Amino acid sequence: MNIAILNNGKVANTAVFDDFSTAQDFLKNKVWSDADAVVELEEGFGIGDSYINGQWIKQELPEQPELPEEPPLDMQLTDGDIGYLKGMVAASGGEPRDV
């Protein structure tokens, strides 16, 4: 079973045990020095989420910045790059062509 190791109501770590009593023994014997509780981890929750008054709460993730759209490859190459690539194509027996 998956166990959440809590510190002040927040999942600090997770572990897998055959039974809950073993996880409680680990807690009692201070295997995790900063842990103050262990609970069975509900699917879909993990490190950083909270367990308060028997209720699971997902942590709010910061909004990810939107990445700019990547320009087409021909807009990324310099004239020198294009000349070099045309030369490579010609050297391999291919027919270079304009883009």
At 40 the pLDDT is 97
Per-residue tens of pLDDT for the chain, all 99 residues = 999 999 999 999 999 999 999 999 999 999 999 999 999 999 999 999 999 999 999 998 788 888 888 777 666 777 787 788 888 888 888 766 665
Q: Between the CA of residue 43 and those of 1, 2, 3, 18, what are the distances in Å?
A: 11, 9, 11, 17
pLDDT at 48: 95
**Cα separation of 40 and 20, whole Å?**
7
Question: pTM for this one?
Answer: 0.61
